[in-house]
Amino acid sequence: MKNNSLLTVATALGTFFAILLALGLAVLTFVFVHWHITPEVYKKVKVDMQTQELVFINSKGETVKIRQGGEEEVVASTESAGAGEAGQKQRYIPLPQVDRSTLYSLYLHTAGILLLLFFITKEVLKVIKSVQELTTFRRNNVQSFRKIGFMCLGISLLQWVTSFFMEGYSRDRMTPMLCMLAAFILAEVFKEGNRLLEQDQLTI
């Protein structure tokens, strides 16, 4: 099945995604270290305390998010907006004013999720490779799915801990739990497949 186009595309996409995750973690770590060295560079950077995302102040004084393609989405008006500005100020806090412990927690949370997603992708690539090599129901795949399940649990726990310690944090914690259940179910399916395969080999 090495020539299966679907598996080839899945492998290519998985590899590309793993590279993106590794680059994302590297960039995040670089920015975190650079912020410690030269914090004045980030005067126009704010933290969205509700989503824990970084937003920026443009030349018009508007608080914006950078979307795919480089487009700016205005999330808060200029300082002279009037009504509702107090609430926006509470939500969008300049990076230098954010408590360091909050930034450390945000970094550890984001870096942890990126790292776990990277290892999950690596395990998925191992399973795809085994399917290509016609060794689908081997014991290693059972272990891979179990690892994926525990890592999904880790992501869910990270999000839960972050929401507990960081007021206003909001993230979907059900998706990692559902992925965890799916991974453990697949682990049992592959375990049964491996057992039947070994029985068949003994019979032959």
Give the predicted TM-score (pTM) of the model: 0.77
Percentage of the chain surpassing pLDDT 70? 73
Looking at the domain assignment, is residue 75 inside a domain? no
Q: Which two tokens stand for residue 144?
A: 């891979």
Its domain, for residue 197, covers 5-38+99-203
In the structure, what pLDDT confidence band is assigned to residue 83 with cuts at 50, 70 and 90? very low
Q: Confirm whether 14 is domain-assigned.
A: yes
117 domain-assigned: yes
The answer to the question of residue 174 being in a domain is: yes
Which among 3-17, 45-59, 158-172 has the top mean pLDDT?
3-17
The verdict on residue 85 lying in a domain is no
Highest mean pLDDT among 30-39, 44-53, 125-134: 125-134
SS3 for 93-142 is: EEHHHCCHHHHHHHHHHHHHHHHHHHHHHHHHHHHHHHHHCCCCCCHHHH
pLDDT confidence of residue 187: 95
Mean pLDDT throughout 117-134?
94
Each residue's pLDDT tens digit, 169-186: 556 668 899 999 999 999
**pLDDT level of residue 81 (50, 70, 90 thresholds):** very low
C-alpha 37/C-alpha 78 separation (Å) is 29
In this predicted structure, the answer to whether residue 30 has a pLDDT above a threshold of 60 is yes
Residue 63 within any structural domain of the chain? no
Total tally of structural domains belonging to the chain: 1
Instruction: Give residues with Cβ within 8 angstroms of 146, minimum separation 6.
Output: 183, 184, 187
